[in-house]
Structure 1
Amino acid sequence: MRMELSVGDGVTGLLIDGLTETPYVAATLKVESTGLVLEVPYIMHGETDQFRHLEQWFSGRMPPANLQLYTNGGTISLFDITWGGHSERQIAVGILRPALAVLHGRDGDLSDPLTVATLQSRVDGLNEWGKSSAIEIDHHVDSARLVTGLSISVSSVPAATWRQGDAVMTIRASWSTEETTDEAGRAMRILDNLILESTFEHGARSVAEHLREHRKVVDLLTILFGGRTRYLGHLVKDARFVDYSLGGTVIGHPTVELFSRQTIADRPIRNSPPTSLTRPLASLAELGVDALVKWSQNYDEWKRFILPSAGAFRRESPYLEDSITSMCIAMEAGGQILGQVPGEAATYGRKRPTLATYVYRCLSAIGVDWGENISSTVGLARAIATNGNTLKHPDRGAYPDYTQSYVVRMVSELTVRLLALYLAGGASDVLADYRKVSGLAWRERQVLQENAISIDDAGVFHLG
């Protein structure tokens, strides 16, 4: 049976450093939203040598890089451990902070850094975005068209595979089962989820290298949804994680759970409600694999655009002003990368590009029809830039009117999301639907019309 741990859980066991002469000691591993915490009680200056190694670890602030915790549920392998503090009492408690934990023992030298052949991530919104399933159901009917049986086929099916440099990325339908018995009787639950998977052409890599490639996809997913996407969990597979029979025969290389300091804050507490996400701008099928390749190729150059926008969408209930500032930072970076476009000179200040210029370039790239309440793209760019600069610079006086800021955030967020589509080069039909008169930007046009809000060529708001 696979060991299970969630944020908020703790497990106690015996701590092993891989040296035969070192005594085993008790320790408790806590899985907290801020990271993994290993608490180790010991006796300071004891009469025996039982805790001498712990005194050296904590007083010298130099614990082993890797340890294993033997528990009733199985072995937990802990990696990249740092000192986290200790008390100086007779019964002391030392704190260690592992960067990584794998819920399985690892063969070989314990001191070796952790590398894995495969990393899988479950991510908020991936099921809705990928729209693929591991389950196929065939209904058997009789001559009266009544269902007499079901044939259920379950298999892990790749939905998309592409390359990101040396990494091979796959989105696949994955499944597992749970058997339960309650007052309703026997039941089998099939868990059917899409996972994001990475492998590398030249063998095992560090978890950080895997996550670097996963982050590229997750950032795109976050911007397409325009909302918070979380890492729901990770699984790893490698030749050094082995299952044995009671006789010592190798029976397989399991896929086992990983906790990482980099993503543990994302992981939900047990039984917490799922993140509420609206429909993405484009599904995986609408984007296509070529768009994922292009996105990854452009990712490093466009980081100054991607990171502020993805970070803002990932925050839970951000302030209006916070979102606008992040979107303006993103558009300023995006506009500089896009380069000059016709008509931008009207946004210059002292014959040089301004924030309005960079916003204008982004608006021009996506080419959305915002409706008749927006007099021109130049005017809209000026309005957004004025609002963003007023929020950013304290010498600009009071904060802008709430209604104006609401419109600026609404338009800026859609602009950034569509620019991500433009950057990926996919979903051309989606962009076309936003560009045509009375297209998909109906929500933005409706807000302007219903509230009698308009923006003139100078970027000035008019109400009523």
Structure 2
Amino acid sequence: MSSVKWVSEPFRHPSQRRENRISYTVESSHGLDWMQGAARLSLKTHWRQDGEKTPGIHLTDDTVLQSRFREPRPVSDHLAEHRKFRDLLSLILGAGANFLTHSIRDQRFAEKMFEGRTHGADYERLVTAGTVAEHYRQPSSTEATDWPILAAEELSRESLAWWARQYEGSRRFILPAASTLQRSNVFAEDTLVNASMSIEALGAELGPVGREDSTWAGTRKTTSTYFYRIIETVGIDASSIADDSIELARALANTYNTIKHADRGDFPDALHTIYAGRLSLMLIRMAIIQRLPGARAAIAKYAESWPVRRIFERMKADGVTVQSGRFCTSP
């Protein structure tokens, strides 16, 4: 969302040169509004002029998430609803989405004038024990994808309301992945472990897919089974680095388990961990977003996009492939 709209039009300069003229309009815009249980949330933009002492036009253009309840509620209730949207946005973007500041207004604490009139309450900055760290957090070092999984126009008030209803029952696979994206300076091992935790949780909820019995240990489902379900669900083509999806699932699960279990010896090769983490995080992001109503077509398109293919291209450039269910590096 942006408060700035611009139009470019050609014109002829007095010197007969052809140039372009750009006209800008700056005004706050209003986006979606939707219900999250008892709360109504809405998106809008808020702009202000900065840098008055320096040449040029300088604007700060913020996107604001506003929440309202019919009756006064504790601040913690508002923040809980905000975080549901923040986690969704982080998963869509592939990078941390953090609130720069919080403001609160309550008409019960309005200003009274000398003549007895009541002046509307102003917004006041809010800092709590749960938000102070976020306000001073540095931007996430997580590498964002070239473009988000979903475009803004592909979100609807129905899909946002659905996400909020499903959130509490989906925390096991939302929070590990989303928290990784919202942190800076994350180790590659942390990325892989958190993404894999989400994959295990969501994979266990998904129904069986074809050929998954090849990943079982006897009649017992394994970590590879859940990776395989996610890979098949989002439909990525990994044929450039692996013979089939089952072998890729085994390689991802093996790398994750080697990190997790000390009795397996040393940590995996650094390159293998890096790429396993990138792949796992991409897979779980796509699998979670695909659950949104109407998002399946967008995920099918994204599965063939450059952000996905780029991971495989970089693996090939570094000589990393999958052989017999393990990552291997060739000289």
Instruction: From the superposition, tell whether residues 140 and 448 of structure 1 become closer, same or farther in structure 2 (CA, over 3 Å).
Output: closer
Larger RCO, structure (CA 8 Å, separation 6 or more):
2
Matched, 1:167 2:39: yes
Instruction: From the superposition, tell whether residues 452 and 210 of structure 1 become closer, same or farther in structure 2 (CA, over 3 Å).
Output: same
Q: 2:276 aligns with which of 408, 430, 443?
A: 408
String of CA shifts for 1:268-316, please: whole Å, max 9, x gaps: 27xxx75567343223223333332222222122110001111111121
Question: Residues 18-57 of structure 1 correspond to what in structure 2 (within 5 A)?
Answer: none
Any stretches of 5+ residues in structure 2 without a counterpart?
none
Q: Is the 8 A contact 2:321 2:327 kept in 1?
A: yes
Q: Secondary structure at the match of 2:291?
A: helix
Between the aligned partners of 2:194 and 2:46, the Cα distance in structure 1 is 35
Between the aligned partners of 1:441 and 1:336, the Cα distance in structure 2 is 24
Opposite residue 441 of structure 1, the aligned amino acid is V
Who wins on radius of gyration, i.e. which is larger? 1
Between the aligned partners of 2:10 and 2:215, the Cα distance in structure 1 is 68
String of CA shifts for 1:76-132, please: whole Å, max 9, x gaps: xxxxxxxxxxxxxxxxxxxxxxxxxxxxxxxxxxxxxxxxxxxxxxxxxxxxxxxx2
1:191 is aligned to 60
1:231 is aligned to 99
String of CA shifts for 1:331-384, please: whole Å, max 9, x gaps: 110111113222211111131111111111111111111233211111111111
Opposite residue 68 of structure 2, the aligned amino acid is T
1:92 is aligned to none
2:3 is aligned to 134
Matched, 1:154 2:27: yes
Opposite residue 164 of structure 2, the aligned amino acid is S
Instruction: From the superposition, tell whether residues 459 and 168 of structure 1 become closer, same or farther in structure 2 (CA, over 3 Å).
Output: same
Instruction: From the superposition, tell whether residues 336 and 274 of structure 1 become closer, same or farther in structure 2 (CA, over 3 Å).
Output: closer
Matched, 1:444 2:325: no
Instruction: From the superposition, tell whether residues 239 and 141 of structure 1 become closer, same or farther in structure 2 (CA, over 3 Å).
Output: farther
More displaced 10-residue stretch of structure 1: 438-447 or 361-370: 438-447
Opposite residue 249 of structure 1, the aligned amino acid is R
Deviation at 1:151, TM superposition (A): 7.8
Q: Is the 8 A contact 2:34 2:41 kept in 1?
A: yes
Q: 1:310 aligns with which of 178, 182, 185?
A: 178
Q: Is the 8 A contact 1:177 1:191 kept in 2?
A: yes
Aligned-residue sequence identity (percent) comes to: 28
Matched, 1:373 2:245: no
Any stretches of 5+ residues in structure 1 without a counterpart?
1-131
Between the aligned partners of 1:330 and 1:408, the Cα distance in structure 2 is 14
Between the aligned partners of 1:153 and 1:400, the Cα distance in structure 2 is 52
Determine which structure has the larger helix proportion and give its number. 2
Count matched residues: 323
Q: TM-score, normalised by structure 2?
A: 0.86
Between the aligned partners of 1:379 and 1:159, the Cα distance in structure 2 is 44
Q: Is the 8 A contact 1:288 1:426 kept in 2?
A: no
